Homo-oligomer: A and B are copies of this chain.
Amino acid sequence: VVDTYRALVEYDGTLYSGFQVQANRPTIQGELERVLERLLQVPVRITGAGRTDAGVHAHGQVISFRADWSHGLIDLQRAMNALLPSDIAVRDLTGMSPEFHARYSAVSREYVYRILDSAVRAPLWERYAYRATQALVLPAMIEAARWLEGTHDYAAFGQPPVGENTIRTVHRVCWWQSRTGWDTPKDTGAFPLTCFSIEANAFLRGMVRRIVGTLLMVGQGQLSVEEFRAILLAGEISRAAPPAPAHGLCLWRVRYT
Residues on A lying within 8 angstroms of B by beta carbon are: 10-12, 57, 59, 77, 81, 86-92, 110, 112, 114, 120-124, 126-129, 174, 176, 178-182, 184-186, 192-193, 195, 197, 250, 252
- Residue of B121, B184, B192, B193 touching A110 (CB-CB under 8 A): B184
Q: A123, B181: Cβ atoms under 8 Å?
A: no
Q: B112, A184: Cβ atoms under 8 Å?
A: yes
Q: B182, A250: Cβ atoms under 8 Å?
A: yes
Known contacts A110-B184, A176-B184, A176-B185; A123 and B250 CB within 8 A of each other: no
Q: B181, A124: Cβ atoms under 8 Å?
A: no
Q: A121, B181: Cβ atoms under 8 Å?
A: no
Q: B12, A121: Cβ atoms under 8 Å?
A: no
Task: Give the docked Cα–Cα distance between A210 and B81 (Å).
Answer: 29
- Residue of B87, B129, B184, B252 touching A252 (CB-CB under 8 A): B184
What are 8 A-B pairs with beta-carbon distances under 8 A? A10-B124, A89-B120, A91-B122, A114-B181, A124-B128, A127-B127, A176-B185, A184-B195
Number of copies: 2
Cβ–Cβ < 8 Å partners of A250 in chain B: 124, 182
Task: Give the docked Cα–Cα distance between A186 and B176 (Å).
Answer: 11
What's the least CB distance linking A211 to chain B, in Å? Answer: 16
Other CB < 8 Å A-B pairs besides A86-B126, A178-B181, A182-B195, 15 of them? A10-B124, A59-B182, A81-B121, A89-B121, A89-B122, A91-B120, A112-B182, A112-B184, A127-B127, A176-B184, A176-B185, A178-B179, A181-B192, A181-B193, A184-B252
Known contacts A114-B182, A182-B195; A121 and B176 CB within 8 A of each other: no
Interface centre among A124, A185, A250 (most CB of B within 10 A): A124
